[in-house]
Amino acid sequence: MFVSAMFCDVVLLLFMLLSASTTRREGAGTEVEEGPEVEYGLEVEEGSEDHLWAKLLYLQAREKEEKKLKAKQKEGARLQAQAASDGPKKSERKQRKKAVDDENPEDFVDPDTPIGQKKSMATLMAKAPSNPASTKPPFVIVLPPPNVTAALHIGHALTAAIEDAMIRWRRMSGYNALWVPGVDHAGIATQVVVEKKRERKLTRHDIGRDKFISEVLEWKDQYGGTILNQLRRLGASLDWSREKRSKAVPEAFVRLYKDGLIYRDYRLVDWDCTLLTAISDIEVDHLDLKEETMLNVPGYSTPVQFGVLISFTYPLEGGLGEIIVATTRIETMLGDSAIAVHPEDKRYKHRHGRYAIHPFHGRKLKIICDAVLVDPTFGTGAVKL
């Protein structure tokens, strides 16, 4: 079958060559078409094998030339059409570019705008428009106060842009809109930064409360002014007439105290041994330890061991002995209110329902049973609650 296919191809090729062969017709008024032997200057016998190959080369060359000519004509037509359609657009772009180059940027900037600012914020644009007759509720945003420990970064700019869009939309919708500015110049972070920046390396305890507060306020004025100026340069439509609101802080504190929402009491606090002050729960990073671990602690020259299981005793009511409790959080024993044991633990079955006495404030701690929370194989088998 393969030989037959090749034979058919050869026959077909010979047929194409013979069909395309040229003839010489001589006579009056008869044109003579030149064949490949004339095109390539060949002197071959017509019908011979060399004549057939010459025909093949001639046909291939002529086909290539025709394809090149068609492609050239097509590309010329495309370029001509493109030039006809883009001519006016290019000229318009050139004219617009020239007009922009001739423009003076100062023609589009308010002469009263401070250098470097996006727009002038001297007007009371944040107060208006607010329609007193509008039945829509007030819309108020308090700027999340940036901490004065440093200048603003890109995250602050993003927040300010989002809030600015919200307040402008509400303002244009007829709401009595208000966006209040401010900075956070209190807190542990500001205290630590001010103490680190002191040239004499003295703490607030060394220089006294009044002197330290004055230095914190001086720091606040320096970096707080930088932050507020950054907000103005961003074009934030804050109501700058309400920047000073310090009197509202003690007023709010007094009202909360009179309403009983603020009161003095004893409770467990997070105490920082380096800063020598109580700190908020949100300032504390909790770390779960699975075993005894050495950690570096500020204020200590060597690592401190944590995760140590400490055992201590609670005396039983009526002088009936004592119960030993093991814990890794010995500092929390001041808040203990009960002791839990496993109901199947034979060591404590005779003490179910009895009471232990807290050694510091005399509170009774009931011994209760819990088969879920208590592991009798861990520690002493007694868990403080």
In the chain, the number of structural domains is: 3
- 118 occurs within a structural domain: no
So what's the pLDDT on residue 1?
Answer: 45
Distance (Å, whole) CA 133 – CA 118: 33
314, 321, 302, 303: which is closest to 364 by C-alpha? Answer: 314
3-class secondary structure, 341: strand
**pTM (two decimals):** 0.43
Looking at the structure, tell me whether residues 43 and 147 fall in a common domain. Answer: no
pLDDT of residue 274: 77
Domain-embedded: residue 155 = yes
d(CA 92, CA 80) in angstroms, rounded, equals 19
Task: Answer left, alpha or beta for residue 111, where phi above 0 means left and psi between -120 and 50 means alpha.
Answer: alpha
Are 230 and 307 found together in one domain?
A: no
**Does 228 lie in the same domain as 153?**
yes
In a domain, 84, yes or no: yes
Contact 181, 242 (CB under 8 A): yes
Report how far residue 309's alpha carbon sits from residue 341's, in angstroms, rounded to the nearest whole number. 17
148 with 244, same domain: the answer is: yes
Residue 160 included in any domain = yes
For residue 143, the one-letter residue type is: L
pLDDT at 218: 79
Range of the domain at 324: 293-384
Output phi, psi for 192, to 5 deg. -65, -45
Instruction: Find the distance separating the first CA and the last CA of the chain, reported in whole Å.
Output: 95
Closest of 118, 179, 116 to residue 145, by C-alpha: 179
The CATH number given to whatever domain includes residue 313 is: 3.90.740.10
d(CA 380, CA 312): 10
Tokens of 131: 């329609």
Report pLDDT for 81. 78
Specify whether 197 is located in the same domain as 252: yes
217 and 305 part of one domain = no
DSSP string, 106-144: GGGS-TTSPTT-SS---S-TTT----TT--SPPEEEE--
- Contact indicator for 233, 116 with CB cutoff of 8 Å: yes
Residue at a domain's end among 59, 88, 103? 103
- 379 and 318 part of one domain: yes
Say whether both 11 and 93 belong to one domain: yes
Among 258, 277, 302, identify where a domain stops. Answer: 258
Answer yes or no: do 300 and 249 share one domain: no
Q: Specify the DSSP class assigned to residue 213.
A: H
Which pLDDT score is estimated for 342? 94
The whole-angstrom separation of Cα 7 and Cα 322 is 113
> 44 lies in a domain?
yes
Evaluate whether residue 350 is within a structural domain.
Answer: yes
DSSP state of 98: H
**Pairing outcome for strands 177-180 and 139-142:** parallel
Do 207 and 314 lie in one domain? The reply is no
Classify residue 228: in a domain, yes or no: yes
Task: Establish if 278 belongs to a structural domain.
Answer: no
Residue 231 belongs to domain with CATH number:
3.40.50.620
In total, the chain counts a number of residues equal to: 385
299 and 228 housed in the same domain: no
Q: What was the pLDDT predicted at 138?
A: 85
Verify that 145 and 241 share a domain, yes or no. yes
C-beta atoms surrounding 184 within 10 Å: 16
pLDDT tens, the chain, 385 aa long: 444 444 444 444 444 444 444 443 344 444 444 444 444 444 555 666 666 777 777 788 888 888 888 888 888 888 887 776 655 556 666 666 666 566 565 655 566 666 666 666 565 555 555 666 778 888 888 888 787 777 888 988 999 999 999 998 988 888 888 888 877 766 677 777 777 766 666 677 777 778 888 877 777 777 777 888 888 888 888 887 776 666 677 888 999 999 999 999 888 888 887 777 888 888 788 888 888 899 988 778 899 888 889 999 999 998 889 999 999 888 889 889 999 999 999 999 999 999 999 999 899 999 999 999 899 998 899 999 9
Alpha helix ranges (H) inside the chain: 2-20, 36-39, 49-102, 154-172, 188-197, 204-207, 209-234, 248-258
- Residue carrying structure tokens 């050139």: 94
For residue 3, CA distances in Å to 14, 17, 131, 204 come to 17, 21, 98, 105
Euclidean distance between CA atoms 292 and 328, whole angstroms = 10
